[in-house]
């Protein structure tokens, strides 16, 4: 029995020493991006829970009253969902971020193209974490399924080419001063500088954001037929 036990332990030790140690090879920029993504996801989940709880209270109150109160609650919810989906124009106090070339084109030796998609994603993630409510880049509204992608070195958003520099990012926030102070010293400034671009920030009393004007495609859903 003792011989069997010793042999079993040696076999486990041999197997352990044979397995390679897997190291995390991500650099500091990749780790920081992953952290921002997880922080944003957590914030979105907390916000969604609060909204669902508030809506549940409304429904319970409407059921206790009259039937048309339930219809009013549903209509209000439809309007809220349209706003949250970015299907309406919005305006209010906000922040304007201007993206420009960090170097003179002649000095740099080549014409500057639009910033790559990854730095835009990094910027949007930080804005969401620091309290942005609605965001547009150029004339394109950021919605849930908006995506930055590169086509022949040119960055596209919502399947449309971003305008040439300077590019304006417009943000609505109910805590715009706090958002401004955090973004001025944010990692996004460094990320854009690495790519050869500068960010400038301006608080404005009234900033207008366009509505998302493309057809939204719904997948994996089917109409429920009565009966």
In eight-state DSSP terms, residue 115 is: P
Cα separation, 140 vs 162, whole angstroms = 8
Phi/psi of residue 211, each to 5°? -80, 155
Q: Is residue 70 part of a domain?
A: yes
101 and 186 in a single domain? The answer is yes
Domain containing 130 equals: 90-209
109 and 182 in a single domain? The answer is yes
Question: 120, 98, 109: which is closest to 191 by C-alpha?
Answer: 120
**Based on the structure, what is the number of domains in the chain?**
2
**What CATH number does residue 149 fall under?**
3.30.70.1880
Contacts 24+ apart (CB under 8 A), 76-80: none
Strand order in the sheet with 148-151: 148-151, 154-157, 160-161
Q: Is residue 108 part of a domain?
A: yes
203 and 98 in a single domain? The answer is yes
Q: Is residue 166 part of a domain?
A: yes
Q: For position 110, what pLDDT does the model report?
A: 45
Segment (H or E) for 2: helix 2-18
Percent of the chain past pLDDT 90, that is, above it, reads 44
Supply the mean pLDDT for the chain: 78
Helix, strand, coil shares, percent, the chain, to 5: 45, 20, 35
Q: For position 19, what pLDDT does the model report?
A: 45
114 and 51 in a single domain? The answer is no
Q: Is residue 17 part of a domain?
A: no
Q: How far apart are the first and last CA of the chain?
A: 69
123 and 153 in a single domain? The answer is yes
Q: How far is CA 221 from the centre of its chain?
A: 24
123 and 147 in a single domain? The answer is yes
User: 192-202 burial string, b = 16+ CB within 10 Å, else e?
Assistant: beeeebebebe
153 and 202 in a single domain? The answer is yes
Q: For position 195, what pLDDT does the model report?
A: 93
User: 116-151 burial string, b = 16+ CB within 10 Å, else e?
Assistant: bbebbbbbbbbbbbbbbbbbbbbebbbbeebebeee
| pLDDT per residue as tens, the chain (227 positions) | 555 555 555 555 555 554 454 455 667 777 777 777 777 777 777 777 677 677 667 666 665 556 556 666 666 666 666 566 666 789 999 999 999 998 765 545 444 678 999 999 999 999 999 999 999 999 999 988 899 999 988 999 999 999 999 999 999 999 999 999 999 999 999 999 999 999 999 999 999 999 987 655 555 556 556 55
The neighbour count for residue 18, using CB atoms within 10 Å, is 7
71 and 101 in a single domain? The answer is no
- Per the CB < 8 A criterion, the answer to whether 135 and 170 are in contact is yes
199 and 135 in a single domain? The answer is yes
- Per the CB < 8 A criterion, the answer to whether 81 and 109 are in contact is no
Q: Is residue 226 part of a domain?
A: no
Strands (E), the chain: 90-101, 134-137, 140-141, 148-151, 154-157, 160-161, 167-172, 197-209
Q: For position 13, what pLDDT does the model report?
A: 56
């Amino acid at each position: 029995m003792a011989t069997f036990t010793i042999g079993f332990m040696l076999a486990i030790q041999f197997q352990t020493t044979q397995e390679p140690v897997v190291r995390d090879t991500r650099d500091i920029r990749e780790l920081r991006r992953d952290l921002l993504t997880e922080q944003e996801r957590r914030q979105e989940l907390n916000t969604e829970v609060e909204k669902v709880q508030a809506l549940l209270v409304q429904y319970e109150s409407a059921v206790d009253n009259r039937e048309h109160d339930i219809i009013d609650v549903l209509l209000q919810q439809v309007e809220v969902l349209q706003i949250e989906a970015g299907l309406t124009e919005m305006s209010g106090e906000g922040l304007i971020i201007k993206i420009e070339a960090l170097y003179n084109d002649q000095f740099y030796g080549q014409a500057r193209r639009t910033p790559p998609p990854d730095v835009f994603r990094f910027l949007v993630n930080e804005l969401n974490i620091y309290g942005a409510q609605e965001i547009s880049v150029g004339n394109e509204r950021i919605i849930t399924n908006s995506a930055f992608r590169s086509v022949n070195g040119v960055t596209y958003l919502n399947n449309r080419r971003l305008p040439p520099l300077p590019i304006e990012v417009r943000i609505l926030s109910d805590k715009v001063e706090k958002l401004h102070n955090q973004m001025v010293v944010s990692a996004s400034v460094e990320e854009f500088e690495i790519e050869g671009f500068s960010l400038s920030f301006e608080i404005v009393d009234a900033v207008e954001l366009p509505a998302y004007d493309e057809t939204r495609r719904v997948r994996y859903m089917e109409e429920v037929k009565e009966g």
